Structure 1
Amino acid sequence: MAYVVTESCIKCKFTDCVDVCPVDCFHEGPNFLVIDPDECIDCTLCVPECPAEAIFAEDDVPDTQRAFIALNAELAKAWPTIVERKDPLPDADEWNGRADKLKYLER
């Protein structure tokens, strides 16, 4: 079972999770992060580090966010690995906690 980044990350892209990942399974897009399910070792270290509370165990992804399981797998193949923490997006605090952000996902 891998961990999954869900909608809460869109337009925030906090990278605190990247710093604690022992296997570098995070991949970075323009305004979102994803986890490569083939690389994730289910260590749970990233979950408490996410200020947006966007990371869930695959079995615990809310029903309204289940599409993000496939989306993480798809985008992890296309996006580069991120291995160091970066500053969040400039307006991340304004977007943190907002719902219905999938339409803002940049590929």
Structure 2
Amino acid sequence: MTYVVTENCIKCKYMDCVEVCPVDCFYEGENMLVIHPDECIDCGVCEPECPAEAIKPDTEPGLEQWLKINADLAKSWPNITQKKDAPADAKSFDGQPGKYDKYFSANPGEGD
């Protein structure tokens, strides 16, 4: 099992999860984070920390697309181990449907 970052992280990117991860398995994109599935130890401490509720265990149904996105992008995005400020407009995007099609960017973030 692993945890997976899902659509609601897009344009929210709160990063509370990064601060608590004991193995630093988060990777930063331009407007969301992903979890490297081979590095995640399934401890689950990140899930309740996410204000956007975007982190889910991979045992939940319907996450196949997000498992692939997390695995693929973690290979090319920079590692992030320190919390940064969320975007100023993050709350306005929290819970919006269809964020992947509207806003997703495969561009890497800055990392640490």
TM-score range, shorter chain: over 0.9
Q: Which of the numbers 66, 76, 79 marks the counterpart of 1:78?
A: 76
Task: State the TM-score, normalizing by the size of structure 2.
Answer: 0.91
Counterpart CA distance in 1 for 2:64 and 2:53 is 15
Unaligned runs of 5+ in 1: none
Root-mean-square deviation (Å) = 0.9
Cα deviation, residue 88, structure 1:
0.6
Task: State the TM-score, normalizing by the size of structure 1.
Answer: 0.95
Identity among equivalent pairs (%):
56
Q: Which of the numbers 85, 90, 100 marks the counterpart of 1:102?
A: 100
Stretches of 4+ aligned residues off by more than 3 angstroms? none
How many residues in Structure 1 have an aligned counterpart in Structure 2? 105
Equivalent residues in 2 for 1:23-42 (5 A)? 23-42=23-42
Counterpart CA distance in 1 for 2:88 and 2:74 is 23
Unaligned runs of 5+ in 2: 107-112
Equivalent residues in 2 for 1:24-63 (5 A)? 24-60=24-60, 62-63=61-62
Q: What corresponds to 2:2 in structure 1?
A: 2
Cα deviation, residue 47, structure 1:
0.3
Larger helix percent: 1
